[in-house]
Amino acid sequence: MAISKGWNGEVKIGTDVVGSMNNWEIIFSGDALENTAFGDTVYDRSYQPGLRAHTISISGYANPTADTAQMALFAEMKSTDEPTAVTVVCLYDNDTEKGWTGSAVITGLTIGDPVDGLSPFSGTFQVSGGLSTV
C-alpha cells in the first residue's frame, strides 16, 4: 500500500469543499472502564472497553467571503436558530475519494488576521454516532 501524500487531502462540509485548508486530523479515542474489584490478587488494575469518541480538527487559511463552506460554518455558529449537526468529510486522497465521514457538532471556529501573514482559519467538531469510511 502506498503512503498517502498529504497534499492530496480535502475537507468537505456536506458536499461543499472547504477551500484553503492545509491540515485535518481525526482523534479516535475510547473509554477504558476500570473493573478492578476488592480481592483481586494480581496487583494490577483491570479494564474493559467503553464508549468510543471521534474529534475532528481542520485548519488552513481564512476566506470567509468567498468560500461557501467556511461561510456556512460561521453562519451556523452565529445563527439564533437551534444548532444543527453538519456532515464532515475528511479525504486523504481526493482523487479516489478515500477517507472518513460523519455527522458532527461544531465545537469551535477560529479566524485570525495577523499583520505579517495569511489569515488563519480552524475548526473543531465532535462526531456524533461514529465515523464511516468512504
- Note the pLDDT tens digit of each residue in 87-122: 999 999 888 889 999 999 999 999 999 999 999 999
Number of structural domains in the chain: 1
Which pLDDT belongs to residue 102? 98
Sign of CA dihedral 96, 16, 21, 81: negative
Q: Is 40 a member of any domain?
A: no
Q: Is 77 a member of any domain?
A: yes
- Boundaries of domain holding 105: 7-35+45-133
Contact (Cβ atoms closer than 8 angstroms) between residue 130 and residue 60: no
Q: Is 2 a member of any domain?
A: no
- The residue ranking higher by pLDDT, 43 or 16, is 16
Q: Is 65 a member of any domain?
A: yes
Which pLDDT belongs to residue 39? 87
Q: Is 114 a member of any domain?
A: yes
Q: Is 78 a member of any domain?
A: yes
Kindly tell me if the per-residue pLDDT of 1 is higher than 70: no
**Ranges assigned E (strand) in the chain:** 10-13, 16-17, 21-34, 47-61, 86-93, 98-111, 120-127, 132-133
Q: Residue 119 has which C-alpha cell?
A: 489569515
CATH number at residue 123: 2.30.110.20
Reported pTM:
0.90
Q: Is 49 a member of any domain?
A: yes
Q: Is 1 a member of any domain?
A: no
Contact (Cβ atoms closer than 8 angstroms) between residue 105 and residue 83: yes
Contact (Cβ atoms closer than 8 angstroms) between residue 40 and residue 46: yes
